[in-house]
Amino acid sequence: MTRADTSVEIHDLIAERRSPRSLDAMATMGNQDLLAVLEAARWAPSSNNLQPWRLIAGKRDDVNFTALLECLVPFNQSWSKRAAAFVAIAGTPAQADGTAIPTFMYDCGLAAAQLTIEAHHRGYVVHQMAGFDHEKAALLFDGAVPIVIMAIGKQAPAEQLEGPAYDREVAPRSRKDLSEIVIAGLPN
C-alpha cells in the first residue's frame, strides 16, 4: 500500500488507509471479521451516548448485499459488486420523544471511521460511497436517514478497472495542506 505523504509521522493504520475501487471478487469476509468491524462501529464516541447509528451489513450474494448493491448508482455498482461485504450506516435524527439529535451525522461519521480503521487493521480496504439512491436506501431502514454505503474487501490490481474508475484508482493520493484547513494556524 502507498503511504500518505504526511507532514509528521502518524499511525500506519491511518497513513496507509486507502479507498480503492479495485476489489478482489474472489475474496471473502469471515463472520468474525464482519462482526469485529460492526463492533468497532458500535463503540464509536457518541454525543450523550445516544448512538444514533443504524447499520445494515451483508456479505456477497446474500439478501442485504443485493439490496444495498441495488441502491448504488451505476458507476458504483460497476466496481463495488466485487466487494466481500457492504455495510450501510443510517442515522436517527431525533430521539424517541422527538428531541432532535443535532450531532447524529457526526456520530454516524465516527462509527464509519472506527469501522474503517478496524477493517484496515484486519487486512481489508473500505470504500465509502455517497453515490446511491437515498430514497431507495431509506426503505431498508426504519425511519433512519441513510448516510453512507461502504464496500469492504481485499484490494486487487487497478488494471481490472476501466475508464474513470481506473483513472481514479491510479491517481496520486492528495490532501489539502494543513495550512488550508487549520483556522487557528500552526505552531512554528
Strands (E), 16-52: none
**Residue 186: its pLDDT value, please?**
65
CATH code for the domain defined by 27-156: 3.40.109.10
Query: Reduced to 3 states, what is the DSSP secondary structure of residue 48?
Result: helix
**Residue 2: its pLDDT value, please?**
76
Query: Reduced to 3 states, what is the DSSP secondary structure of residue 94?
Result: strand
53-100 pLDDT per residue, tens: 999 999 999 999 999 999 999 999 999 999 999 999 999 999 999 999
Q: Does residue 112 carry a pLDDT above 60?
A: yes
Q: Does residue 169 carry a pLDDT above 60?
A: yes
**Residue 188: its pLDDT value, please?**
63
**Residue 180: its pLDDT value, please?**
86
Domain locations along the chain: 27-156
Q: For cell 453515490, name the residue.
A: 131
Cα separation, 64 vs 14, in Å, equals 29
What stretches of 81-125 show up as alpha helix (H) in DSSP?
104-121
DSSP 32: H
Tell me how far CA of residue 62 lies from CA of 30, 68, 77, 86, 109, in angstroms: 14, 10, 16, 10, 25
Number of Cβ atoms within 10 Å of the Cβ of 107? 22
Mean predicted confidence (pLDDT) in 109-122: 97
Closest CA to 146 of 52, 38, 82: 52
The strands making up 53-59's β-sheet, listed across from edge to edge, are 53-59, 85-91, 145-153, 125-129
pLDDT band with cut points at 50, 70 and 90 for residue 10: confident
pLDDT band with cut points at 50, 70 and 90 for residue 40: very high
Number of Cβ atoms within 10 Å of the Cβ of 65? 20
Structural contact between residues 55 and 88, judged by C-beta atoms closer than 8 angstroms: yes
Tell me the torsion sign for CA atoms 174, 27, 53, 113.
negative
Mean predicted confidence (pLDDT) in 110-138: 97
DSSP strand pairing (125-129 vs 85-91)? unpaired
Q: Does residue 1 carry a pLDDT above 60?
A: no
pTM beyond cutoff 0.85: yes
Whole-number mean pLDDT of the chain? 93
